[in-house]
């Protein structure tokens, strides 16, 4: 049996930050798949693993003024790939040069770079603004022969595109074990077996046997500011650090931590209030 419990969570006021945080808390509680929207999110968990007490996971939300409504229903076993294709994960085209889709999609536009992603979660597929911001940057960079490290690699999409564009060696690091396993699978789907995926946090940078010409980190502001010294240490002289996972108004906070390390601001890009920053190691 592959029955699932579908939980609908309406959140007011709602934002991408709120739904991202809710999904992270629910993932820790055992939920597997998330579909965010402007009013909240829909989450799925194996019916055998579900209990009403799981809603207490959202008690850890760091906002006290949220109104959260929770309803649940059992969904009988079905072809879940078909359901994803029909309702949720649609192919996405970035800068008219890169298409991202699942292995079960059939109507796919032609692009220079064709990336197959079979996500266990709805994030890291290119639909989120922060992922799109970095994908666009990678498409415009000269990556031929450049060494790359992708922190918080998620589905592995950024590392995979970097490798497709000629970067080598390429390493992704992911703290969440299911996401790390998903990234390994996605490297195989895209014939990018030379990309190494490491399970762990920023401490694992010490195990990467090279310095990065390009360091990527699409995580969140607090993790980035805490781990910037490790990123800096793992970079080659003159290397570039591309960051995202925070809002435009957070850029000054990032720079307060980056400048004392000798990381120089180069530029920033913004999409739907989310920001990406490029920093150069002096």
Q: Is the pLDDT of residue 211 over 90?
A: yes
Residues 142 and 277 in one domain: yes
Which range, of 143-147, 243-247, 265-269, averages the lowest pLDDT? 243-247
Domain termination residue (choose one: 78, 96, 131): 78
Q: Is the pLDDT of residue 122 over 50?
A: no
Residues 272 and 135 in one domain: yes
Over residues 35-61, the mean pLDDT reads 89
Residues 91, 263: Cα–Cα separation, whole Å? 36
DSSP letter string, 247-260: EGGGHHHHHHHHGG
Residues 136 and 267 in one domain: yes
> Which tokens hold the place of 127?
């639909």
The share of the chain scoring above pLDDT 70, in percent, equals: 91
Q: At 74, which CATH number?
A: 3.30.70.260
> Which tokens hold the place of 152?
């918080």
Give the model confidence (pLDDT) of 79-98 as tens digits. Answer: 555 555 555 567 888 989 99
Instruction: Name the band, by pLDDT with cuts 50, 70 and 90, for residue 207.
Output: very high
Over residues 223-234, the mean pLDDT reads 96
Question: What's the pLDDT score for residue 99?
Answer: 93
Q: Is the pLDDT of residue 103 over 80?
A: no
Residues 72 and 132 in one domain: no
Handedness of CA 209, 212, 213, 218 (dihedral sign): positive
Q: What element of type H or E holds 183?
A: helix 177-189
Rounded to the nearest 5°, which phi and psi values hold at 124?
85, 15
Highest mean pLDDT pick, 24-28, 30-34, 122-126, 261-265: 261-265
Which range, of 44-53, 56-65, 71-80, 102-111, averages the lowest pLDDT? 71-80
Question: What's the pLDDT score for residue 192?
Answer: 97
User: In terms of residue numbers, what domain contains 18?
Assistant: 4-78
Number of domains in the chain: 2
Instruction: Name the band, by pLDDT with cuts 50, 70 and 90, for residue 109.
Output: confident
Give the model confidence (pLDDT) of 140-166 as tens digits. Answer: 999 999 999 999 998 899 999 999 999
Residues 63 and 132 in one domain: no
Give the model confidence (pLDDT) of 174-183 as tens digits. Answer: 988 878 988 9
Over residues 93-109, the mean pLDDT reads 85
Instruction: Name the band, by pLDDT with cuts 50, 70 and 90, for residue 120.
Output: low
Residues 129 and 260 in one domain: yes
Q: Is residue 180 part of a domain?
A: yes
Residues 73 and 196 in one domain: no
Q: Are 100 and 128 in contact (CB under 8 A)?
A: no
Question: What's the pLDDT score for residue 71?
Answer: 95
Q: What is the mean pLDDT of the chain?
A: 89
Query: What global pTM score does this model have?
Result: 0.75
Residues 52 and 143 in one domain: no
Residues 54 and 163 in one domain: no
Question: What's the pLDDT score for residue 178?
Answer: 78
Q: Is residue 48 part of a domain?
A: yes
Residues 63 and 169 in one domain: no
| Relative orientation angle of helices 157-164 and 129-140, to the nearest 10 degrees | 10
Q: At 237, which CATH number?
A: 3.40.50.150
């Amino acid at each position: 049996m592959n029955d699932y419990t579908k939980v609908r969570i309406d959140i007011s006021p709602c934002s991408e930050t709120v739904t991202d945080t809710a999904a992270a808390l629910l993932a820790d509680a055992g939920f597997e798949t998330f579909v965010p929207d402007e009013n909240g999110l829909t989450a799925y968990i194996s019916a055998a693993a579900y209990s009403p007490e799981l809603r207490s996971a959202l008690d850890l939300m760091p906002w006290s003024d949220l109104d959260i409504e929770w309803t649940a229903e059992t969904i009988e076993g079905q072809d879940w790939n078909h359901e994803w294709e029909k309702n949720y994960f649609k192919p996405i085209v970035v800068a008219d040069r890169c298409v991202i889709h699942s292995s079960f999609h059939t109507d796919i536009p032609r692009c220079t770079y064709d990336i197959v992603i079979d996500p266990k979660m709805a994030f890291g597929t290119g639909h989120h603004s922060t992922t799109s911001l970095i994908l666009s940057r990678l498409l415009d960079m000269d990556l031929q022969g450049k060494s790359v490290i992708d922190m918080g690699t998620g589905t592995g999409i950024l590392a995979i595109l970097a490798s497709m564009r000629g970067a080598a060696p390429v390493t992704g690091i992911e703290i969440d074990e299911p996401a790390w396993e998903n990234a390994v699978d996605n490297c195989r789907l895209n014939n990018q077996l030379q990309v190494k995926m490491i399970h762990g946090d920023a401490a694992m940078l010490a195990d990467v046997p090279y310095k990065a010409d390009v360091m990527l980190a699409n995580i969140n502001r607090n993790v980035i500011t805490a781990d910037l010294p490790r990123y800096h240490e793992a970079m080659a002289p003159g290397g570039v650090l591309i960051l995202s996972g925070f809002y435009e108004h957070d850029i000054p906070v990032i720079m307060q931590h980056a400048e004392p390390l000798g990381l120089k601001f180069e530029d920033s890009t913004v999409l739907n209030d989310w920001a990406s920053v490029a920093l150069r190691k002096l």
